[in-house]
Amino acid sequence: MVKALEQKLLKHNIKPTAMRVLVLDYFNSLSAAISLSALYEEFDRSDRITLYRTLKAFEAKGLVHSIDDGTGAPKYALCEANCNTTDHNDSHIHFHCDSCERTFCLQKFSIPEFDLPTNFIQQEVKLVVNGVCDQCTA
């Protein structure tokens, strides 16, 4: 298991340190995106700066993407397999549950392309759906 995690880090040109392997393993177990504060609570014996730098390295190398779900703190989720340093593909819809405060990647639902007016240059599109998730409605 550790070897597979190390290989995934190396594939993204990330040096596989013990902390990075632990954080990647934790991300693999998640069903929703996570904030730095929540990650810090899970790794309470770790340094917050180290966790922050780990997330930023993962994001820069296309391993995770950040989500602005309107809560004021970015959340992080694993990227799709085809993401890399130069082509960060997270153009899917995100869902934020107003009840449990979790944010989910809905990768089956792509953000549509927009035909912008002349000389308008699209740099980023974010789409967050707010509502109540399936676990909170059950």
**Cα separation, 98 vs 106, whole angstroms:** 16
Decide: 128 and 111 in contact? Cβ < 8 Å: no
Query: What is residue 48's predicted lDDT score, i.e. its pLDDT?
Result: 92
**Cα separation, 27 vs 21, whole angstroms:** 10
Query: What is residue 86's predicted lDDT score, i.e. its pLDDT?
Result: 67
Query: What is residue 120's predicted lDDT score, i.e. its pLDDT?
Result: 95
- Beta bridge partners, 103, equal 96
98-117: pLDDT as tens digits: 999 999 999 888 888 889 99
Q: Is 136 annotated as a binding residue?
A: yes
Q: Is 100 annotated as a binding residue?
A: yes
User: Which has the closest alpha carbon to 20: 48, 76, 58?
Assistant: 58
Domains of the chain: total: 1
The pair of structure tokens assigned to 40 is: 């810090």
Decide: 42 and 26 in contact? Cβ < 8 Å: yes
Backbone φ, ψ for residue 24 (5° rounding): -60, -45
Decide: 61 and 14 in contact? Cβ < 8 Å: yes
Query: What is residue 125's predicted lDDT score, i.e. its pLDDT?
Result: 82
**Cα separation, 103 vs 35, whole angstroms:** 10
Task: Supply the CATH number for residue 107's domain.
Answer: 1.10.10.10
26-74: pLDDT as tens digits: 999 999 999 999 999 999 889 999 999 999 999 999 999 999 999 999 9
Q: Is 105 annotated as a binding residue?
A: no
Domain of residue 36, residue span: 2-137
